[in-house]
Structure 1
């Protein structure tokens, strides 16, 4: 079985990928800033990163930060992967990184381009947003008595465990370049998602659509982050909410 390193292997997606690969009998190394024995800050790199990659055949790169530093981290990872003779680098990206002018999306797109030019065998999968991210956003918006939503915006949340299954499958296959996007099963208005969240949490809030301004908002409103033609996910937002708020 292959030796596979998962960056961000303790995170929302990475831990699921690690579990899937381990269950299939692969030797999996988890790399994050706090995991032992491979505690590495990818933005710094160094000898500890080289040690973590020694003998690794495939890297699944799940580590990311909305606070910046992804491009620096990717540069260090790619350089170390070359030194270690890694044969396959699998990267998780986001649907719409080339259409929505959000700073974090631009950084993810830049990392895609770095991987494509790396000289390594590579695979990139773009997915829509995970259920838990949508729930966290709605939870923050629901702290106010009035839940103000971005008017006219829809989303297509996908189950993180299904994305992990897809990534694990890609990791043990040959490098495939940019593979087809993966979207959740339904394109939903934010209002419908918000009302489902309120029902599941037992909250009562007024829900109001608020028109916003700017290029990023227009791109989201136009559906630049959606993949309706790739609605291959199975788990719905309601099913996720039922599990999360079962008590």
Structure 2
């Protein structure tokens, strides 16, 4: 299923949504440049979320190593940076499309400031959940998946009866249909199975599926809770 638009209307211009999509695409183009020069793997391992690295630094800091707190602070920047990086063409396209369709309506309902706080804060929270879920993982976690899961959770809570115009591709035939927004809660998880299509050349890989699914599920609940609190 490919979401195209919804029946939610609003007067606000979704500046934050457009900006986030633009930033994600620009950084992905930068990643392509780094891939050609052979520098992409180092870049991703420097800015992606690596739970094992952060967990070890926190353990050392708590154990009494003052210098480790510097590593904790520097590593924590990846909680923000990591959500603006993507590991494949399918991931950047899927996330941009979902943000375009669902993000616009959430931003129109709450305003760009609240929407941006939803995207960034919920993205960081789900990143922390990923670290707690697999504290020894040494593979980078990147992508806006968790942040957009939060946006989707807020959308379904705020617009439970919304209808989404969807294209259902059947081989070479594309059938336009209208589906309930809640159906995309399920489809969000299923379509992530295809996010490895068109993967960039990153040594060691990124985003093992076991580390992402539960955090993204938590992201949906975090987003819905945020929408309830803001309503």
TM-score (norm: length of structure 2): 0.30
Question: Bigger relative contact order, structure 1 or 2, given CA contacts below 8 A and separation 6+?
Answer: 2
The answer to which structure has the higher helix fraction is 2
The structure that has the greater radius of gyration is: 1
TM-score (norm: length of structure 1): 0.29
